[in-house]
Amino acid sequence: MKILFIGDVAARSGRDALAQYLPTVKAECEPDVIIVNGENAAHGIGINDKICKEFFDLGVDVITLGNHSWDQREVIPYIEREKKLIRPLNYPAGTPGNGWVVHTLPNGQKILVINAMGQLFMDPLDNPFNAIDVLLKTYKLNEKVNAIFVDFHAEATSEKMALAHYLDGRVSAVVGTHTHIPTADAQIFPQGTAFQSDAGMTGDYNSVIGMKKDTPIMRFSRKISFERLSPAEGDGTMCGTLIETDNNTGLAKSIRPIRRGPRLQNA
């Protein structure tokens, strides 16, 4: 199974880059399933039903979220209806939506997609290690599902690597989101789980993680700012990761970064 995962889509620039580059990457790589993190898609914070529908129309199968899941209020009733829009699994019980979904491919194969959020330097949530453990008691790799993909939305690379090692051999891939910078550590762990600390941002890289530069520079340099952060509006770059799994085991055979756009080296 070929799994194409696209990292945090940031605002209009990211949405335009996704629309521009995803069709070409689909034609080149022929993925069986496309997963997109869309938690920054609406003006840099959150997502709404209109944008979700745009993504699904592009051929996206599952949309994951993160710490900005609820920044657009209209998403709350939508996420209750749309099962292929998922928020972090380790939100408290009673939170709208679900943290996972089983997506069935046209050939009958099934992939479990899990979204989880880290604890270090993030909002205080339930333990993601325990939350995934509970879910994997029901969905074991290569039994009920043919592949398992985890989008781990976290700040600390140590926590991302720890979770991936913890899940090594039990899931197909763990790929990080949230930091908006693609990392160069794509690899397959000893027991067969693919890993990359962060897939990177889909958006304008002539920015500070997708935001116009002046305000964050003022905040860091002078410790003052009278303006809110606003999304950068230049040409966007699409960043993601392509993972191929073994149909006999569900474990990873390969992982490689995907980058298309004007600022980063294409891959």
Q: Are strands 100-104 and 85-86 parallel, antiparallel or unpaired?
A: unpaired
| Tokens found for residue 124 | 């205080």
Contact 68, 39 (CB under 8 A): yes
Say what the pLDDT of residue 127 is.
96
Q: What is the pLDDT of residue 218?
A: 87
DSSP 100-138: EEEEEPTTS-EEEEEEEE--TTS-----HHHHHHHHHHH
Structural domain includes residue 267: no
- One DSSP character per residue, the chain reads -EEEEE--BBHHHHHHHHHHHHHHHHHHH--SEEEEE-TBTTTTS---HHHHHHHHHTT--EEE--TTTTSSTTHHHHHHH-TTEE--TTSPTT-SS-SEEEEEPTTS-EEEEEEEE--TTS-----HHHHHHHHHHHS-BTTTBSEEEEEEE-S-HHHHHHHHHHHBTTBSEEEEESS-S--S--EE-TTS-EEES----BB-SSSBTTB-SHHHHHHHHHS--SS---B--S--BEEEEEEEE-TTT--EEEEEEEEESSSSPP-
| The predicted structure's pLDDT at residue 181 | 97
- Range(s) of the domain holding residue 25: 2-260
Q: How many domains does the chain have?
A: 1
CATH value at residue 218: 3.60.21.10
**pTM for the structure as a whole:** 0.96
CA 23 to chain centre: 18
pLDDT of 60 reads 98
Predicted confidence pLDDT, tens digits, the chain (267 residues): 999 999 999 999 999 999 999 999 999 999 999 999 999 999 989 999 999 999 999 999 999 999 999 899 999 999 999 999 999 999 999 999 999 999 999 999 999 999 999 999 998 899 999 999 999 999 999 999 999 999 999 999 999 999 999 999 999 999 999 999 999 999 999 999 999 999 999 999 999 999 999 888 889 998 887 788 889 899 999 999 999 999 999 999 999 999 999 999 998
Q: Is residue 214 part of a domain?
A: yes
What type of residue is 157? T
Q: What is the pLDDT of residue 226?
A: 73
180 is catalytic: no
Q: Sheet harboring 2-6: ordered strands across? A: 85-86, 62-64, 33-37, 2-6, 238-245, 252-260
pLDDT (0 to 100) of residue 234: 94
Write down the pLDDT at residue 224.
81
CA distance 224 to 221: 8
Total residues belonging to the chain: 267
Residue 266 inside a domain? The answer is no
- Marked catalytic residue, from 68, 103, 153, 180: 68
